[in-house]
Chain A
Amino acid sequence: MKTVASFFRGPFYIALYTYREGIRKKVLIGFLILSLLVIFGSSFISSFLDPSAETDMDLKLIKDICVTAISIFGVLITIYVSASVVPNEMENRVIYTVLSKPVRRIQYLIGKFLGAQLIIIVNLLLMGFLFFMALYLRQGIMPTLLLWSILLTYFEFLIVSAFTFAISCFATSSLVPIIGGLFIYITGNLTEYLKDVEHRAGQTGQAFDEFIGQVASTLHAVLPNLQNFSLKMQIITGQPNDPPTDVLIPNLILYGVLYGLAGFACAYLAFWRKEV
């Protein structure tokens, strides 16, 4: 127990330091302010609609726009944070000082990763809180479904964050991992196309096409499919008594954790061999 506690003490302080340093970054604050403005501004979108129609239309608009704003700005924050925590330390040479202390590389990496996650969670909670208040003030009841939506959004970010973090451990500047992170997010949402490639490749009957189909099929099975997390949009305006969500949510959480671990392991593999 003592060994475990002493092992995690180092990462804990590194995470805390990463968080304190990260939360002060101007780009991050800029994204956060923009997202908060969009969430706040969504309350005025109903002015575009016919005021004579007494419905919950404006509520639906707020929900959809806020979830989208959280997803878009959240993923930008995630990518920026995950891409910059390690390369920045290499650029300003802080990493050499840290690793010269009795801190193992895995501890350093865990600390950095957890610090990045802390920044992501705090930003997500801030955006979620404002969204929560916007809904609460309009509805008068606690929008509990929103909490599930925010939770699912975090696990989607965890996957993007872990793989962006892995790229950042290969790279020397934060530009490449940022581009890589965006690429991961976009391709993660387009994984379904691989199924289409497989379907079309099987129609020609040629050996090479079949091989391409096999590759597409394998990639479709192995690569993370971020479309699975589209449930976060469905859940918030979900139908009453919707049984599939009960089964899907735990599976999606596990999915996020698994790919998060895979991404972190890739990061470790890269960082372990890195000459620092």
Chain B
Amino acid sequence: MPDMSKSIHRFFVLAFIVLCFVAGAFLNLRLRHLRESEAFYRWILAAATNERLFEEEDTEDQDRALFSRCVETAEQSPDLRDVSAAADAPALDGVSLLGRIASDYKEDPRIWEFARSEATAGLRGDFLNLAREQKLRFAQDIQYAEAQAGGVNVFNLFFGFRKVAANFVWIEVDRYWHQGNTYRMITLMRTCVALDPHFIEAFVIGAWHLAYNVTARMLDTPWPEREWHPTYEVCLGEKERFYYYAVDFLKEGARRNPRDYRLYFDLGFSVYKQKLQDYANAVKYLSEAVRLPHEQYVPRQLFLCQELNGQYEDALAGWKDYATRYPDSTISIDVAPRFILRNEGLILERDYEQLRGQAAQAGDPAEKARLEAQAQDVWQKARAVWEKVNDPFGEGRKARMDALELREEGRYLEAIAFLDRARWESSDLWQEFSDLIIKIKQEAKIPLTVSEKKAVLRDSVVGVCAGMPPEEREKRLRAAEELQATF
């Protein structure tokens, strides 16, 4: 009898062990499904971010085709088709349903649900196959290798401690930087972010090295030495290429970490605003940074870029909102009122110029007189605003208004002399005043100086470089001829 009882006991213990292993196997499968779904979810976010913000396409990869299939499936999903874009999202014309949903980071749980749902089982399988075959541009990280069947990958070699390996690689990157081994540094930077795709600091500091430190001692490349860059459709030399390396590196980081504001901030502010003076793109990426959880300084840079991009109303509304939101901050007390006035003044100045333009074109004398009176009223208001600003910028604006008045009266040389003096006193307005001087000279048929001619040619898209497509080259040469004829 005791033997019987022992056998039963043993049977139950064995049955319990088997049960645990079966349940463990079930959970193993579930965890595998979750990890594969996670990889798929991150790829969807990357593809959606690329579609909405970067619009980059590589014909050799199959991201776009697979993403289109995902969008078709999403459009049939009752949970997703009614989701609208975020209220503060920019215009999303031509952006797919998944792209619109991904514009609001609060909707991420919906995309996650979609990525792990039964409806996407086939797509998920195709994603894994394509990722394994390295046919997806946005799924070439180590984290995707982990999700692949046939898991011989670097991931396992580090026992999951690949982030530490990435840190030590980064210390090497830092060493190469101090040795001046720039090209070696770039290669290691890529290794570093391949080991740890969420290494935000590596993306940010790496891009800073590329856009600032590497180019610090380089001279601007002369036009004849530049080469055409087909992706960005600009002529780039060695120095300029580094700016775009930084852009590419940050975009890569943003695709892998679409919910981290720092990458968009650096892309918009550090590279597009500071280095490329491309304010439209700076506003685009800074707006994205502001729409994600961010630090207090981020919106301020957006407002500055909006002002530089001529979006005075947006900048004004932004500063007012900032001052209301953080009433006790030093910026709200000392800086915001000045920028609010600045943007109000700029709006009034722009309105004045529009009204003068309309008045000049008006056929009806009564209408003309009404518009001129209205313009005069706006002029007075703008003047009053600049009086209040009372800083070199305000003084510069007043000088500009005076110069424009002189120009209206046909006193071109006086207007030019006024602007020439004013631009030395207000460095912020140097470029604007220099451009205005050229404009007045061209209008008054006053010969341009050699440096002014060069500036006109440089600012217009007339630069020709090696590797440029013939039609683009022809177009630019024709534009150059037309411009030179006006000199």
Contacts and interface: CB of A to CB of B under 8 A. Distances in A.
Interface of A: 45, 48-50, 53, 55-57, 60-61, 64-65, 67-68, 71, 186, 189-190, 192-193, 195-196, 198-200, 220-222, 224-230, 233-234, 237-244, 247-248, 251-252, 254-255, 258-259, 261-262, 265-266, 268-269, 272
Interface stretch (B13-21, B338-346, B406-414, B441-449): B13-21
Given A192-B156, A244-B34, A255-B24, A49 B171 contact: yes
B13 A272 contact: yes
B25 A222 contact: yes
B201 A55 contact: yes
Interface centre among B150, B160, B164 (most CB of A within 10 A): B160
A188 to B, nearest CB: 10
A264 to B, nearest CB: 9
A15 B14 CA distance: 25
A205 B442 CA distance: 80
Contact of B34 (A53, A195, A251, A261): A251
Interface string B373-414: 000000000000000000000000000000000000000000
A229 B31 CA distance: 10
Nearest to A192: B151
B29 A55 contact: no
Contacts of A234: 198
Interface stretch (B105-113, B460-468, B470-478): B105-113
Contacts of B156: 189-190, 192-193, 227
18 contacts: A45-B167, A49-B170, A55-B201, A57-B205, A189-B156, A225-B28, A227-B146, A233-B160, A237-B163, A243-B108, A243-B112, A244-B41, A247-B112, A248-B38, A251-B34, A261-B20, A269-B14, A272-B10
B458 to A, nearest CB: 33
Given A195-B150, A221-B28, A239-B260, A229 B160 contact: yes
Nearest to A58: B201
Given A48-B174, A265-B13, 13 more contacts: A49-B174, A60-B199, A60-B201, A68-B163, A222-B25, A230-B160, A240-B105, A244-B37, A251-B27, A262-B20, A265-B17, A268-B13, A272-B9
B208 A255 contact: no
A252 B35 CA distance: 12
Contacts of B153: 192
A85 B273 CA distance: 64
A156 B25 CA distance: 16
Contact of B167 (A65, A196, A230): A65
A221 B152 CA distance: 17
Given A53-B205, A225-B31, A255-B31, A195 B149 contact: yes
B30 interface: yes
Nearest to A156: B160
B293 interface: yes
A50 B150 contact: no
A258 B23 CA distance: 7
Contact of A57 (B35, B38, B201): B201
A93 B27 CA distance: 40
B167 A189 contact: no
* Majority DSSP secondary structure for residues of B touching A: helix
Given A50-B177, A262-B17, A55 B109 contact: no
B112 A244 contact: yes
Given A64-B164, A251-B27, A195 B151 contact: yes
**What 5 pairs across the A-B complex have the smallest Cβ distances?**
A192-B151, A262-B20, A230-B160, A243-B112, A199-B150
B241 interface: no
A269 B17 contact: yes
A265 B38 contact: no
- Interface of A, secondary structure class, is helix
Nearest to A230: B160
A269 B31 CA distance: 28
B178 interface: yes
Interface residues of B, number: 58
Nearest to A46: B171
Contacts of B201: 55-57, 60
Contacts of A220: 28
B24 to A, nearest CB: 5
A269 to B, nearest CB: 5
A60 B260 contact: no
A251 B160 contact: no
Given A55-B204, A222-B25, A243 B177 contact: no
Given A55-B205, A265-B13, A248 B34 contact: yes
B259 interface: yes
Interface in B179-207: 198-199, 201, 204-205
A266 B199 contact: no
Nearest to A254: B27
A16 B468 CA distance: 79
Nearest to A59: B201
Which of B38, B146, B178 neighbours the largest number of chain A CB atoms within 10 Å of its CB? B38
A68 B161 contact: yes
A238 B116 CA distance: 20
Contacts of B160: 71, 189, 226-227, 229-230, 233
A157 B264 CA distance: 39
B24 A222 contact: yes
Contacts of B28: 220-222, 224-225, 228, 255
Contact of A64 (B167, B259, B260, B292): B167
